[in-house]
């Protein structure tokens, strides 16, 4: 599967996550690649909603990872401050790549060599019209399933 969708608003980005959740099964890794502020956490909130997670999903940045329970558990990982798989292993997070149960949703997977490649679903987000910041809310979202 490979599809491209334009998300015009944060709500549309969240909806893409809700739909994506419907194809997730135990053991999957979803990588979310995109520049700062492109909507990775917004999309993650949609995935959580689609997985019937009722807890509020916040950016995992300061924790590196958070876990939520729903139809499947969701391990939400932010690799922004991590530079290698060894570093992730030091905090025990390599266990979630891939996870034995539940799914892992990873922001900044491109900080870790090979992580995007081993992901079952690769999402990449591009900011459109960034030069028109006042109106630059459109994101191009490409989803590919291995």
Ligand X SMILES: Nc1ncnc2c1ncn2[C@@H]1O[C@H](COP(=O)(O)OP(=O)(O)OP(=O)(O)O)[C@@H](O)[C@H]1O
Where do contacts with ligand X occur on this chain (CB under 6 A)?
A: 7-10, 13, 34, 36-42, 59, 107, 137, 139
Nearer to ligand X, 42 or 119 (CB): 42
CB of 42 to ligand X, least distance (A): 3
Contacts with Mg ion by CB under 5 A lie at 40-41, 59, 107
Lookup: tokens for 126: 């591009």
Nearer to ligand X, 100 or 134 (CB): 134
The structure tokens 């900080």 sit at 111
Nearer to ligand X, 117 or 129 (CB): 129
Nearer to ligand X, 37 or 92 (CB): 37
Q: Residue 42 binds which one of ligand X, Mg ion, none, with CB within 5 to 8 A depending on kind?
A: ligand X
> How big, in percent rounded to 5, are the helix, strand and coil portions of the chain?
25, 25, 45
Residues 18, 5: Cα–Cα separation, whole Å: 14
Answer for the pair 49, 72: CB distance below 8 angstroms, yes or no.
Answer: no
Answer for the pair 4, 140: CB distance below 8 angstroms, yes or no.
Answer: yes
Nearer to ligand X, 46 or 102 (CB): 46
CB of 94 to ligand X, least distance (A): 21
Q: Residue 119 binds which one of Mg ion, ligand X, none, with CB within 5 to 8 A depending on kind?
A: none
CB-closest chain residue to ligand X: 39
Q: How far is CA 104 from CA 34, 36, 54, 60, 95, in A?
A: 17, 20, 17, 12, 10
CB of 12 to ligand X, least distance (A): 6
Please give the helix or strand (H or E) that residue 115 lies within, else none. Answer: helix 115-118
């Amino acid at each position: 599967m490979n599809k491209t969708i334009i998300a015009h608003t944060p709500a549309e980005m969240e909806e893409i996550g809700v739909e994506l959740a419907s194809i997730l099964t135990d053991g999957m890794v979803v990588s979310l690649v995109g520049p700062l502020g492109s909507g990775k956490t917004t999309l993650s909130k949609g995935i959580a909603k689609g997985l019937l997670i009722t807890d509020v999903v916040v950016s995992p940045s300061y924790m590196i990872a958070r876990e939520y329970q729903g139809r499947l558990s969701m391990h939400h990982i932010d690799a922004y401050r991590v530079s290698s798989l060894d570093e992730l292993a030091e905090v025990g997070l390599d266990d979630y790549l891939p996870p034995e149960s539940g799914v892992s949703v990873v922001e900044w997977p491109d900080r870790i060599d090979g992580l995007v490649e081993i992901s079952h679903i690769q999402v990449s987000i591009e900011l459109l019209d960034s030069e028109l910041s006042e109106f630059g809310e459109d994101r191009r979202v490409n989803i590919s399933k291995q």
